[in-house]
Amino acid sequence: MSAHPNREELFDLYALGVLEGDELADFGAHIATCDSCAHKLAEAQGRIALLSFAAPPALPSPGVKESLLRQLSASADGRTLDVEEPHLPHTGFRAGWWNAIFAPAAVALALATILLWVSNNHLNNEIERQKSDLQQLKQQTDQTNAILELVSARDTISVPLAPSPEAKGATAHVLYNARLGKMFYSDTLSAAPPDKSFQLWLVPTSGAPISAGILTPEPGVGSRMIATMPPGIAAKAFAVTIEPAGGSPQPTGSKVLVGPAS
Amino acid sequence: MIPASSSASGPSSGIDQHSSDWTLIERIVARDETALASLYDRYSGLVCAVLNRILRDSAAAEEILQDIFFQVWRTAAQFDPARGSIPGWLAVAARNRAISRLRRRNPGQGEELFENAIVLPFNVETEAAQKQMMGKVKGVLGNLPKEQREAIELAYFEGLTHSEIATRTGDPLGTVKTRLRSAVETLKKKLQP
């Protein structure tokens, strides 16, 4: 059995669904084999589930309960469709005559219902897709606005970063505005070594380096990042270091890119 | 068959309002439709609220709501009170299904309802207890720093991971992790019985 999670909050973070990568895999593997941790996780799941009570109150329409109860009755009867059976009189010629008229009409109605249902499903899917696209567009617009604000501010500084021999040929650039606490970074790095991450740092004129985040270069493209920093931090330099996967609170690895702010 | 007087009515329908969740589940296992109707009256508001908050689409929310309660009907025999509570399972099922729909993942209509152990730290079987819990949770969230509250809402109601939240907010990943760690520590302290 693997070691118990070394931080208590991992149970709640796992229940919240925010863990990813090795952290998620390690935790999941341990939980599957450890009863005491599985019990802790059950408690964390319950705590996190309480967040449901923060949702704005909403009541379903009465039709949902009606439909549910009809569904129960249908399943109890062994029926799968919730259709009322018509009570037509069975009186010889008269019944046959009506059946001759209504049978094709019922078939046509059923076909029309199926077509409407398919069309409705298609429209619902389309609405879902457009909502998702709209959300992505909003994110892109927000990012573009942040870059515009940064570029157009007179007190924004532009800092090229020079590569170490380890990252020979790579280029990188930082736009930073201390007043706004905003940074835009771009590079042409290729992927980090296995089990390692590139991490971007702001080195202030006084105090320890501040992480601006983990870089995730795309093959042939490099990395792009918009970072929000605490406002009012004067920069002495910017650097990218190689850190253990997921990053470090402070730089521990070698510098691959460095640029002095002045 | 449900008597006409009890079908599709609200909490004042004459359906048993006083049985425990476990008693209702035992009756559901015995194929008592009025028991499911009672359970629905008790928790449909909670489930519907979660679904609406995540999906912001009442038609889709009601479709999933009905499906979840029908799944309770079909799989009630699997319920083990030692492994958790009904409102916990219902809330988690609602969240999982809604996020799957939102992110266009396979919603997994399957049997996950009672699969994971979920121990709710409070009994919320009555309407009054649910209202009290609503006030408590909103109070705790409201007292979190704004960035922590936003991060935890993005995680719970939009199903985003650490790095997805960092991308969405433009904040460094380390900052997001710190915020969420602080937020869940506060929730753990404040949401104890």
Please give the Cα distance from A45 to A14 (Å, whole number).
Answer: 9
One domain for residues B148 and B191: yes
CATH, residue A181: 2.60.40
* B116 shares a domain with B50: yes
Kindly list the residues from chain A whose CB atom is less than 8 angstroms away from the CB atom of residue B40: 65, 68
Can you read off the two tokens belonging to residue A253? 């690895």
Boundary residue ending a domain (B73, B108, B124): B124
Residues A49, B45: C-beta atoms closer than 8 Å: no
Domain match, A131 and A161 both: no
Domain around B111:
1-124
List the structure tokens of A131: 């909502």
A35 within a domain of the structure (yes/no): yes
Mean pLDDT for the stretch of residues A241-258:
87
Query: Any idea what the CATH number is for the domain that residue B162 is in?
Result: 1.10.10.10
Cα dihedral B72/B74/B75/B76 (nearest 10): 60
Burial class (CB in 10 A: 0-12, 13-18, 19+), B110: exposed
Using the 8-state DSSP alphabet, how is residue A154 labeled?
Answer: T
**Residue B150 half-sphere exposure, CB side, CA atoms within 13 Å?**
11
ipTM over 0.90: no
pLDDT for res B106? 52
pLDDT tens-place values along chain B, 193 residues long: 223 333 333 333 444 556 889 999 999 999 999 999 999 999 999 999 999 999 999 999 999 999 999 999 999 998 888 888 899 999 999 999 999 888 775 544 444 666 678 888 888 988 889 999 999 999 999 999 999 999 999 999 999 999 999 999 999 999 999 999 999 999 999 998 8
In the prediction, which pLDDT does A137 show? 82
User: Do B174 and B95 share a structural domain?
Assistant: no
Structure confidence by residue, pLDDT tens digits, A178-196: 998 889 999 999 888 888 8
A54 contacts B137? CB cut-off 8 A: yes
> Which pTM was predicted?
0.57
If asked whether residues B132 and B37 sit together in one domain, one would say no
Residue A29 is which amino acid? A
| Interchain proximity A66–B137, CB inside 8 Å | no
Say whether both B92 and B181 belong to one domain: no
User: Do B95 and B13 reside in the same domain of the chain?
Assistant: yes
For residues A131 and B59, the model is more confident at B59
Within a domain: A141: no
Sign of CA dihedral A61, A64, A70, A72: negative
A241 domain-assigned = yes
- The answer to whether residue A77 is domain-embedded is no
Same domain, A114 and A161: no
- For residue A216, tell me if it sits in a domain: yes
Strand order in the sheet with A157-163: A210-215, A196-204, A235-244, A255-260, A157-163, A172-177, A182-187, A224-228
Asked if B187 and A12 come within 8 Å (Cβ–Cβ), the reply is yes
Q: Do A64 and B66 touch (CB under 8 A)?
A: yes
Task: Classify residue B96 as left (phi > 0), alpha (psi -120 to 50) or beta.
Answer: alpha
| CB contact set of B142 (below 8 Å; sequence gap of 6+) | B149
- Find residues 61-100 of chain B whose CB sits inside 8 Å of chain A: 61-62, 65-66, 69-70, 73-74, 83-85, 87-88, 91-92, 94-95
Looking at the partner chain, which of B65, B133, B175 has a beta carbon nearest the beta carbon of A50? B133
CB proximity under 8 Å: B 108-137 to A: 116-122, 130, 133-134, 136-137
Does residue A93 have a pLDDT over 60? no
What percent of chain A lies above the pLDDT cut of 90?
Answer: 35
What gap in Å lies between CA A156 and CA A205, rounded to an integer? Answer: 16
Report yes or no on A59 lying in a domain: no
Contact B15, B6 (CB under 8 A): yes
Pull the structure tokens for residue A100: 């001759």
**Which residues span the domain enclosing A91?**
85-135
The nearest CA of chain B is from the CA of A93 a distance in Å of 35
Average pLDDT score over residue span A130-147: 77
Instruction: Read off the CATH number of the domain in which B17 is found.
Output: 1.10.1740.10
Residues of A in contact with B7 (CB under 8 A): 65-66, 69
Q: Which residues of chain A does B62 touch, with a Cβ-Cβ cutoff of 8 Å?
A: 60-61, 63-64
How many C-beta atoms surround the C-beta of residue A36 within 10 A?
8
A17 and A100 together in one domain: no
Query: Same domain, yes or no, for B140 and B185?
Result: yes
Q: Find the residue in A nearest to B180 (Cα).
A: A13
Of B45, B87, B159, the CB nearest to A58: B45
Q: Is the pLDDT of residue A204 over 60?
A: yes
Average pLDDT over chain A reads 83
For chain A, what percent of residues have pLDDT higher than 70? 90
Q: Do B91 and A49 touch (CB under 8 A)?
A: yes
State the total domains in chain A. Answer: 3
Q: Rounded to whole angstroms, how far apart are CA atoms B96 and B51? A: 10
pLDDT at position A7: 87
Phi and psi dihedrals of B167, rounded to 5?
-65, -45
Smallest CA–CA distance, residue A73 to chain B, in Å, is 6
Mean pLDDT throughout A233-237? 93
A162 and A255 part of one domain: yes
State whether A181 and A238 are in the same domain: yes
| Number of domains present in the structure of chain B | 2
